[in-house]
Amino acid sequence: MTRTLRSVGVDLGDRSYDILIGPGARHGLAALLPVGARRAVIVTQAGIDVKVEPGIDHEVVEIGRGERSKSMETVGELGRAMARFGLSRSDVVIAVGGGLVTDVAGFAAASWHRGTPVVHVATTLLAQVDAAIGGKTGVNLPEGKNLMGAFWQPHAVICDTETLSTLPPEEWRSGFGEMAKYAFIGVDGLPGMPLEEQVAACAALKARVVSADEREGGLRMILNYGHTLAHALEAAGFAAEPGDVLDQVGAGPAAGPAAGHPLPRPQPVPLPLRHGEAVAVGLVFAARLARALGRIDDGRVREHDEVVSAYELPARLPRGAEPAQLIEFMLRDKKAHGELTFVLDGPRGVEPVAGVPSGLVTEVLAELKGP
């Protein structure tokens, strides 16, 4: 283990756990497994070339790639593999991958023998700063995304920043978009920090939020900053789903965060947007909507633009995205309850705001239409 590892705690009483962050953190896996676990099922995907050594008898099971694999069928296949391997409730499931893998393996672990420990080894930036932390697990149904799931807190989370070196550029952009939201919900100076510090700062904030509001009764909603528009873009087909992770092969980051660009610089990215890129557009939009509602001033809107620009993320609606269609999808969202609700910045910080007039939303969306 190297000396640069950091540990962040999620404080949930007897379900508390640590997040181990830094280069080579995966080598600390064996020490983080539950005491008494004798066997492990490692759940991963083809193309994720991250080997882990649990130090106990184990079997590797690969699940499919893409949102279609985030299904009850995959959970059933995992259950059958666990049965064949003889995994008991005192053993452990180890998820090695991005958000799709941690969601599916986490749900399978929550269901296996009514709850078996799971350790997440998050290998994408998005999973390291968001998906692997906090216990949200689940799968899609033909009727909708993430409709079946459970809160099942992991036994430990590993964010090995070395595993990011093989991420394709679009996965970096997706992670940066999810990261950018943290700059407005409590992490100052984010884009200027070294990457490991950024991951640690975001993971630490998420850990604090989850410790305070595990089941999203209130505070946890701030983690959805920028997501209302992002989900509408995803539902309308302009953005990929968060779990649609591509092959973890290829070059490292095309461009790291470059602090200090004065103005938003929309990037010509190919459609569909990655999840985090859609979140970036959602952040720029949420800032303008908050200003239109008199909640923040021009300076704060500029800060949003600067962070999104520093991460070289898109700041405009994709070509063809129409305000009326996006509003329709926002109203259909399972959390909408028939009115337009956004998580917005304001004098008390970021918070949910219900009953936003659709005319205003249309105007602000129209401002963000690309050339």
Q: Which residues are catalytic?
A: 114, 136, 178, 206, 216, 220, 224, 227, 231, 275
Q: Which residues pair with 19 in a beta bridge?
A: 8, 157
The residue behind tokens 């953005």 is: 239
Distance CA 230, CA 283 (A): 9
The footprint of ligand GLY on residues 179-198 (CB under 6 A) is none
Which residue number has the CB closest to ligand GLY? Answer: 223
Q: What is the largest CA-CA distance in the chain?
A: 60
Least distance from ligand GLY to the Cβ atom of residue 367, Å: 27
Residues facing 97 on adjacent strands: 122
Cβ proximity to ligand GLY: between 202 and 296 the closer is 202
Which run of H or of E encompasses 92? Answer: strand 92-97
* Residues 52-81, mask of contacts with ligand GLY (x by CB under 6 A): ------------------------------
Tokens of 213: 């509001």
Tallying the residues shown for the chain, one arrives at 371
Choices 31-39, 73-81, 151-159, 215-223; region in contact with ligand GLY by CB under 6 A: 215-223
Q: Shortest distance, CB of residue 276 to ligand GLY, whole angstroms?
A: 12
Distance of CA 352 to the CA centre of its chain: 19
- In whole angstroms, give the CA distance from residue 273 to residue 313: 10
Question: Which CB, 185 or 223, lies closer to ligand GLY?
Answer: 223
| 139 Rama class: left (phi>0) / alpha (psi -120 to 50) / beta | beta
**Residue 208 binding ligand GLY, by CB under 6 A:** no
Q: Which of residues 100-159 bind ligand GLY (CB under 6 A)?
A: 130, 134, 136
Which one of 223, 301, 327, 350 is in contact with ligand GLY (CB under 6 A)?
Answer: 223
Pick 121 or 343: Cβ nearer ligand GLY: 343
Q: How far is the CB of 137 from ligand GLY (least distance, A)?
A: 10
**Minimum distance from residue 190 beta carbon to ligand GLY (Å):** 17
Cis check for the bond before 34: say yes or no (omega within 30 of 0): no
Tokens for 307? Answer: 């962070």
Report residue 142 CA to chain centroid gap: 22
Instruction: Please report whether residue 244 would count as binding ligand GLY according to CB under 6 A.
Output: no
Close Cβ partners of 124 (under 8 Å, ≥ 6 residues apart): 97, 98, 99, 164, 167, 171, 174, 175, 245, 248
Which residues face 343 on adjacent strands? 352
If phi > 0 it is left, if psi is from -120 to 50 it is alpha, else beta; for residue 24 that is left
Main-chain dihedrals φ then ψ at residue 121, nearest 5 degrees: -105, 95
CB of 18 to ligand GLY, least distance (A): 18
Q: How far is the CB of 66 from ligand GLY (least distance, A)?
A: 20
- For residues 130 and 306, which CB has a smaller minimum distance to ligand GLY in the complex? 130
Cα(105)–Cα(330) distance, integer angstroms: 29
Nearer to ligand GLY, 91 or 171 (CB): 171
Closest CA to 231 of 73, 340, 368: 340
Q: How far is the CB of 227 from ligand GLY (least distance, A)?
A: 8
Q: CB-wise, 130 or 305, nearer to ligand GLY?
A: 130
Which tokens sit at 244? 């649609």
* CB-nearer residue toward ligand GLY: 292 or 336: 336
> If binding is defined by CB under 6 A, does position 220 make contact with ligand GLY?
yes
Q: Under the rule (CB under 6 A), what is the footprint of ligand GLY?
A: 130, 134, 136, 216, 220, 223
